[in-house]
Chain A
Amino acid sequence: MANYHIKLEGELEKQATRKSFGEALVKLGAKREGIVVLDADLSCSVQTAKFAAEFPERHFNMGIAEQNMLGAAAGFATRGKIPFACTFSVFATGRPWEIIRNSICYPNLNVKILGSHAGVLTGEDGASHQALEDIAIMRALPNMKVVQPADHVEALSVMEKIVDDYGPTYLRVLRQGTPLLYSDERPCNFEFGKADVLFDSGKGSGSKPGKVDLCVFATGALVGSSLEAALKLTEEDGKKVLVYNMSSLKPIDEDAILEGAGRAKVCVAAEDHNTIGGLGSAVADVLAGEGVGVRLVKIGVKDAFGESGKPADLYKKYGFDAEGVYKSLRSTG
């Protein structure tokens, strides 16, 4: 059991990473006077309302005008501030995309973009509000970093790093709670460009890590689902499984991908995002670039829009809950 790293028994406590972001923002805002927050009429949903109450002079509600919000953020960054431009992922990345490209990434400005309510996990609002291509379109921009924390603890760690780091960054957080994976026993120390092994039932007793049937690269809410699925596969099906938390989507941990793939019969990428252009594509690029001939199975939304539904119902329907991921993994390897 020691190899599993993470406690997975019973009902896991959950918290939405958007809340963690809001908490961290207030804490960091007190320490860093350069932090300013820009909103687009969703300050309760994206959890910036607390920052607004605490530091009203450093909070700017730009109204329902996302393009202007990102342009203004570029202006703040030009003068050395650390602006956080915050709204739903679709409107944070899609609506102002070309402004992000030309006015933020091209001059390499220190703008932090917060996109909440990503993925089909957004639920009832439906396709128009479920960002499924945000990772792809942000990843394609030079200078842009892309991060999606898997749980509350990691989100706090990510925020610490983001404010100390320089450069445009897209932080993807979720509306619904995700299980708490990290704890005092298994602390989180997020670093850009680093993946984290959260489960390894193929570790073996020797000094060299053993072969595994499956190596899963997961991000966001799919990390929790993948861990539960991996545990079940190990215990009930006698499979050996390795699970990486890929919170740093760009830069991506090429060494980890090559190491995991090197041990695996089959690789899997799991994300609540279109299978085109997201984590799966990033992993595929690394594998193909190095000539690693291992099969890569993508779990994600297959070139489609989302739909309305209760988050849990949609996770079941799309196979993103633990049971769904388990079934995909079992049929894969």
Chain B
Amino acid sequence: MAKELSIKDLEKKASELRIAALKAISKAGSGHTGSSMSLMDALVTLYYAGGAEEEDYVILSKGHGAPAQYAILADKGFFDKSELDHLRQAGALLQGHPVVKIPGIAVSTGSLGQGFSVAHGIALSLKLDKENQKVFVVLGDGELQEGIVWETAMSAAHYMSNNLIAIVDNNGLQIDGSCKKVMNVQPIRDKFVAFGWRVIEVVDGHDFEELIDAVRRARAEERKPVCIWCHTVKGKGVPFAENKVEYHGVALSEEEMKVAEAELKCN
């Protein structure tokens, strides 16, 4: 494991990575700004705070949040940072949604719900091979509306797949509006509990202390799959985009990018 980063260091790292992800999206002129910001701190917890071991799997079932993971993988040296300048362009390595040809990406996602199911298959396979790795899989709250999510939840509890840790990026929004209004998925905790999961609630999904503690507890679970239910802010870190459904899938303009960068640098 790399040397421990302090909470301050993690916050600084997350800000840098936010800037890198936003710049990539902005340069591409297309991509999911809000969605990439809400899950960033959970990913930083996994990749930089010892949340995930090197051999663990980190899968974005909400594949449209890919720029956040791409920024991290570039920072970690999986591929050259210059690849971020070509995101979503013809012939580029970095596709709009994760694909296994990209170093560091284990599962091709983009069609919501499926990454969760694949993640559980990997978890089952690890157990079969008597391997200790964990499988982390990040889902959107809107994504939970897909039927396959609940088929997966059922089977993971059935097989007592305690090596499967789902992180629900509960930012309250999807594309057509708030999840409550479009198709209510709450109560999320009760649903997962009823399906046989252990649920760990993270009240502030951007607080590293809380996130680190939640992941530590999830790793220690011995019988059940674990859902880390994270309350997050869509667009987190970009004040004018925070909690705004309009910023779900649009790139920041050059002007907006400057403002966002200045904001993130003062944090």
Smallest Cβ distance from B96 to chain A, in angstroms? Answer: 4
Tell me whether A128 and B110 are in contact in the complex, defined as CB-CB below 8 angstroms, given that A44-B176, A63-B182, A308-B89 are known contacts: yes
B147–A128 CB distance below 8 A: no
Residue of B nearest to A120 (CB): B90
Chain A, 37-74, contact with B by CB distance < 8 Å: what is the 0/1 string? Answer: 00101111100000000000000011111011000000
A90 within 8 A of B: yes
Q: How far apart are the CA atoms of A220 and B110 in the complex, in Å?
A: 25
Whether, in the assembled complex, A21 has its beta carbon less than 8 Å from a beta carbon of chain B, the answer is no
Cβ of A101 under 8 Å from chain B:
no
- Docked-complex contact B96 and A129, CB < 8 angstroms: yes
Whether A61 contacts B182 by the Cβ 8 Å rule is yes
Task: Of the listed stretches B43-51, B138-146, B160-168, B208-216, name the one at the interface; the rest are far from the partner chain.
Answer: B138-146
Is A309 touching B110 in the complex (CB atoms < 8 A)?
no
Contact across chains for B88 and A41 when beta carbons are under 8 A apart: no
Please, which residues of chain A bring their CB within 8 A of the CB of B176? 39, 41-44, 61
Contact at A128–B30, with CB atoms within 8 Å?
A: no
Is the CB–CB distance between A64 and B96 below 8 Å? Answer: no
With a cutoff of 8 Å between Cβ atoms, the chain B residues found around residue A124 in the complex are 28-31, 88, 96
Residue from B92, B108, B113, B185 in contact with A128 in the complex, judged by beta carbons closer than 8 Å: B108
Give the A-B contact count at a CB cut-off of 8 A. 98
Answer yes or no: A14 CB below 8 A from chain B CBs: no
Q: Which residues of A contact B174 (CB under 8 A)?
A: 41, 63-64
Complex Cα–Cα for A43 and B181 (A): 14
B175 touches A44 (CB 8 A): yes
Say yes or no: is B183 at the interface (Cβ < 8 Å to chain A): yes
Given A39-B176, A44-B175, A65-B145: A310 and B63 within 8 A (CB)? no
| Docked pose: A314 CA to B30 CA in angstroms | 15
The reply to whether the CB of B111 lies closer than 8 angstroms to some CB of chain A is: yes
- Tell yes or no: B233 within 8 A of A by CB: no
Q: Of A65, A67, A314, which is in contact with the most chain B CB atoms at under 10 Å from its CB?
A: A65
Give B73-94 interface residues, CB cut-off 8 Å to A: 87-92, 94
Q: From A90, which residue of chain B is reached at the shortest CB distance?
A: B111
B residues within 8 A CB of A64?
112-113, 142-143, 145-146, 174, 183
Q: Could you jot down 23 A-B contacts, CB within 8 Å? A: A43-B176, A45-B175, A63-B183, A64-B143, A64-B145, A65-B146, A68-B147, A90-B111, A124-B29, A124-B88, A125-B96, A126-B95, A128-B96, A128-B97, A128-B108, A129-B97, A129-B110, A307-B90, A308-B90, A308-B94, A309-B90, A310-B89, A313-B89
